[in-house]
């Protein structure tokens, strides 16, 4: 079954749960790494754990693989508590960050290792290894040793070595972070195809938000041992629930304000109309708007939600343009434009423009309504 | 007509003509080659020549050229056949192998033990392995003799445990010989083994367990094979010098058992039979080179380079 990526997005996932983390807590010495993680991962899902280094995402993965033990809580793999199982008894396989290939074995010996340990008959091993190698397009290198391969090729071997065992869940610990960008993007596409074809549950750990957005069905944004938000990719991007997620997943302009009337918030940019659900009049809110949703123009098209700005930074990025603009009282906004060539979108530093913040695209954030730099840093 | 250009070869990022290449090679490696030629190859050739001479009544090496020395070594003497020297060689090989075996037995866990520590601690632990080998061999050997004499506390303890009879020392004995030998050669096997163990990426152990291996399987199928180059280097560095070792067996064994090293020393010393001593030396060296050659054939050029 060959799914293209568009079809993959639309596929309907099984509702059954493959992995269930129940109130997982873990400390290393005084440092609390996981502070009660509850998470259900569905069968056949491409699930990403996204967060900065030290947020506990890798520890969570290692608890599932059996290399760490939770201080409290339970991990259920297809309904079975894995606590009494040693790593080699769990039907999960890991693609390690540094690949951890066995240097003294050839590529095919590496891939055959798991099957050999499970005493699969030799004839079957050969076939399975070959088909796994073909699946990741590395069959031509079957007799080489890892040292003779490039980073991308090693990554493929590590992948083949894991999927050949047909595990219930495949764990990927930042497998692409050591590769250069071009290769990474290619491998992202291949990983998605592979996942759709195998129908395997993937748990993907990454600190790269773009990678997580590209590949995942659902994402859990983690920070300091807690899950900040959990949801589908589109939901997470369009409706970040708090300032941390809004800043970590993509970038956002954050505005402090007070509700002055239904659908109206008074901010540093003046009174703005907001369509999102607002708290009662008189309450403080924190608004978020994505840089690409702000529209810049030389002429003032509408008075509503529009502020006069001047361009302070003009960053040409090829396909997109990134601008920093400043209002008359010095408040800075981030704005991204598409280099479509159709609209006049090539502005220069010093240009006097109008920035329009569409009322329906501003999101009311949960949690702290004040801009707290510590919260944004994840402290 | 085209002019013929000299063939250029890439060397260290430059293109050089063969003549330039040769000049540079001579400038860098030349001194070493001369040194080895003068102080290794030349003396060896002289010694090789000696092994075909005859000993006269006064102990001088004289003509005519003969292969009698080699025949004598093989056992045929004027008095009839006696395999004494072959037995000595066999015994020497046995001592060398037993020594190596015990060294491996100790070095293996030791190397893993040291590699399991933090880098700073590792270095400190390695000092304990290396520094004792800086003490002069004879001094160390005499120290063992003192520790093992009949009145020493260690011997007293052995007596009270019933290991040795009262009024006997722990030396001279095979035990003392092997202890002394292991003491001498342990660093030679720990060092290469440790450097092999240290290079291992420990996440492979997790990867192996992730791929359904038990901890024991992970150790023997993933870690041990990666230590083999270091282990082989250590075995060669131990077994070969152990073949020629004569101070330790002589002193701690009480000069009762002849080994090849002692025999050679005796020919050049009290027996004053240089030709025969040279012949024995060359036969032992030939044996060693044969083993190395067989090993080299098995592992290829790259394997030998790893070893060095």
Is A175 strand, coil or helix? coil
Q: Give pLDDT, residue B87.
A: 85
Structure token digits, residue B220: 């023997």
> Are the beta carbons of A104 and B210 separated by less than 8 Å?
no
Give the whole-angstrom CA distance, residue B146 versus residue B134: 19
Q: Give pLDDT, residue B244.
A: 82
Can you list the alpha helix ranges (DSSP code H) found in chain A? 5-10, 57-65, 107-117, 122-135, 151-163, 181-198, 209-215, 233-238, 243-248, 373-377
A320-327, strands of its sheet edge to edge: A295-297, A352-356, A306-316, A320-327, A332-338
Q: Give pLDDT, residue A379.
A: 44
Mean of pLDDT values over B38-65: 82
Give the whole-angstrom CA distance, residue A220 versus residue A218: 7
> With contact defined as beta carbons under 8 Å apart, do A173 and A94 qualify?
yes
Residue B16 burial (C-beta neighbours within 10 Å; 0-12, 13-18, 19+): middle
Find, among A34, A18, A99, the residue nearest to A68 by Cα. A34
A82 vs B contacts (CB less than 8 Å): none
**DSSP helix, strand, coil percent of chain A (3-state; round to 5):** 30, 35, 40
Q: Give B95's pLDDT tier (boundaries 50, 70, 90).
A: confident
> With contact defined as beta carbons under 8 Å apart, do B180 and B141 qualify?
yes
Find, among B218, B211, B217, the residue nearest to A89 by Cα. B211
Q: Give pLDDT, residue B1.
A: 47
Question: Is the predicted pLDDT of residue B42 greater than 50, yes or no?
Answer: yes
Q: Give A197's pLDDT tier (boundaries 50, 70, 90).
A: confident
Find, among A112, A114, A138, the residue nearest to A126 by Cα. A112
Average pLDDT value for chain B: 83
Question: Is the predicted pLDDT of residue A270 greater than 70, yes or no?
Answer: yes
Q: Which residue of B has its CA nearest to A119?
A: B212
Structure token digits, residue A61: 């993965």
Q: CA of B201, closest CA in chain A: separation in Å?
A: 7
Which range among A50-59, A88-97, B145-154 shows the weakest confidence by mean pLDDT?
B145-154
Residues of chain A with pLDDT > 90, as a percent, come to 30
pTM of the model: 0.77
> With contact defined as beta carbons under 8 Å apart, do A46 and A195 qualify?
yes
> Are the beta carbons of A88 and B207 separated by less than 8 Å?
no
Q: Which candidate from B203, B209, B212 shows the least CB-CB separation from A98?
A: B203
Q: CA of A70, closest CA in chain B: separation in Å?
A: 17
Question: Is the predicted pLDDT of residue B161 greater than 90, yes or no?
Answer: no
Q: Enter the ipTM.
A: 0.80
Place of tokens 């991007």: A237
Give the whole-angstrom CA distance, residue B206 versus residue B200: 12
Q: Give pLDDT, residue B163.
A: 74
Identify which has the larger pLDDT, A304 or A201.
A201
Q: Give pLDDT, residue A49.
A: 93
The long-range contacts involving A312-320, CB below 8 angstroms and separated by at least 24 positions, are A312/A349, A313/A349, A314/A347, A314/A348, A314/A349, A320/A292
> With contact defined as beta carbons under 8 Å apart, do B26 and B35 qualify?
no
86-125 in chain A: CB under 8 A from chain B: 86-89, 92-94, 96, 98, 100-104, 113-114, 117-118
Q: Which candidate from B201, B204, B212 shows the least CB-CB separation from A117?
A: B212
Question: Would you give the DSSP letter of residue B162?
Answer: T
Q: What is the pLDDT of residues B185-240, one digit of tens each?
A: 999 999 989 988 988 888 899 999 999 999 999 999 999 899 888 888 888 888 88
Can you list the alpha helix ranges (DSSP code H) found in B75-136? 84-115, 119-130
CA A255 to the chain's CA centroid: 24
Question: Would you give the DSSP letter of residue B157?
Answer: H
> Are the beta carbons of A100 and B214 separated by less than 8 Å?
no
Question: Is the predicted pLDDT of residue B18 greater than 70, yes or no?
Answer: yes
> With contact defined as beta carbons under 8 Å apart, do A218 and A233 qualify?
yes
**Cis? peptide before B172, omega within 30° of 0:** yes
Give the whole-angstrom CA distance, residue A374 versus residue A353: 32
Say how many CA atoms lie within 13 Å of B18 toward its Cβ: 3
A80-81, strands of its sheet edge to edge: A31-42, A17-28, A72-77, A80-81
Question: Would you give the DSSP letter of residue B4?
Answer: P
Q: Give A303's pLDDT tier (boundaries 50, 70, 90).
A: confident
> With contact defined as beta carbons under 8 Å apart, do A60 and A223 qualify?
no
Q: What is the pLDDT of residues A92-104, one digit of tens each?
A: 999 998 899 999 9
């Amino acid at each position: 079954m060959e799914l293209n990526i568009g079809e993959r997005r639309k596929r309907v996932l099984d509702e059954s749960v493959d992995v269930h983390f129940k109130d997982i807590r873990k400390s290393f010495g005084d440092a609390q790494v996981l502070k009660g993680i509850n998470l259900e991962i569905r069968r056949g899902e491409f699930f990403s754990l996204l967060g900065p280094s030290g947020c506990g995402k890798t520890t969570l993965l290692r608890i599932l693989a059996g290399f760490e033990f939770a201080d409290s809580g339970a991990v259920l793999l297809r309904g079975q508590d894995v606590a009494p199982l040693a790593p080699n008894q769990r039907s999960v396989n890991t693609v390690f960050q540094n690949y951890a290939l066995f240097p003294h074995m050839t590529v095919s010996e590496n891939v055959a290792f798991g099957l050999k340990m499970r005493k699969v008959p030799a004839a079957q091993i050969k076939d399975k290894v070959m088909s796994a190698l073909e699946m990741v397009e590395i069959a031509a290198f079957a007799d080489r040793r890892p040292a003779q391969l490039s980073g991308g090729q090693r990554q493929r071997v590590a992948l083949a070595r894991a999927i050949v065992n047909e595990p219930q869940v495949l764990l990927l610990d930042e497998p692409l972070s050591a590769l250069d960008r071009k290769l990474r993007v290619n491998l992202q596409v291949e990983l998605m195809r592979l996942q759709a074809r195998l129908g395997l549950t993937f748990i993907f750990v990454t600190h790269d938000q773009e990678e997580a957005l590209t590949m995942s069905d659902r994402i859990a944004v983690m920070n300091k041992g807690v899950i900040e938000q959990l949801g589908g990719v589109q939901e997470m991007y369009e409706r970040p629930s708090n300032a941390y997620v809004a800043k970590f997943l993509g970038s956002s302009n954050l505005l402090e304000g007070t509700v002055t009337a239904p659908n109206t918030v008074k901010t540093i940019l003046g009174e703005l109309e907001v369509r999102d659900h607002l708290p009662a009049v008189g309450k403080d809110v924190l608004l978020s708007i994505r840089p690409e949703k702000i529209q810049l123009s030389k002429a003032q098209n509408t008075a509503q939600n529009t502020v006069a700005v001047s361009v302070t930074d003009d960053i040409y990025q090829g396909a997109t343009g990134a601008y920093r603009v400043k209002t008359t009282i010095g408040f800075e906004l981030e704005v991204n434009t598409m280099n479509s060539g159709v609209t006049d979108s090539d502005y220069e530093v010093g240009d006097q423009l109008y920035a329009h913040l569409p009322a329906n695209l501003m999101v009311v954030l949960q949690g702290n309504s004040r801009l707290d730099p510590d919260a944004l840093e994840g402290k | 007509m085209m002019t013929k250009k000299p063939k250029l070869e890439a060397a260290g990022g430059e293109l050089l003509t063969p003549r330039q290449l040769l000049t540079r090679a001579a400038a860098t490696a030349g001194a070493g080659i001369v040194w080895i030629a003068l102080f290794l190859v030349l003396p060896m050739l002289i010694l090789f020549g000696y092994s075909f001479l005859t000993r006269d009544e006064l102990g001088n090496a004289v003509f005519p050229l003969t292969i009698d020395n080699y025949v004598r070594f093989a056992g045929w003497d004027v008095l009839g056949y006696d395999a004494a020297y072959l037995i000595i060689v066999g015994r020497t090989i046995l001592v060398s192998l037993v020594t190596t075996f015990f060294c491996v037995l100790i070095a293996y866990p030791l190397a893993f033990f040291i590699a399991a520590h933090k880098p700073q601690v590792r270095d400190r632990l390695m000092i304990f392995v290396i520094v004792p080998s800086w003490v002069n061999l004879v001094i160390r050997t005499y120290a063992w003799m003192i520790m093992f004499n009949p009145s020493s506390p260690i011997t007293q303890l052995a007596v009270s445990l019933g290991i040795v009879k009262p009024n006997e020392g722990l030396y001279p004995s095979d035990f003392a010989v092997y202890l002394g030998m292991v003491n001498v050669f342990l660093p030679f096997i720990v060092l290469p083994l440790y450097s092999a163990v240290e290079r291992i990426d420990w996440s492979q152990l997790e990867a192996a367990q992730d791929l359904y291996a038990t901890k024991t399987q992970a150790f023997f199928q993933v870690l041990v094979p990666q230590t083999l180059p270091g282990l082989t280097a250590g075995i060669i560095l131990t077994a070969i010098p152990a073949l020629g070792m004569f101070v330790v067996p002589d002193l701690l064994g009480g000069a009762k058992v002849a080994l090849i090293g002692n025999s050679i020393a005796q020919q050049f010393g009290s027996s004053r039979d240089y030709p025969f001593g040279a012949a024995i030396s060359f036969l032992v060296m030939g044996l060693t080179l044969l083993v190395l050659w067989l090993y080299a054939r098995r592992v290829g050029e790259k394997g030998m380079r790893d070893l060095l």
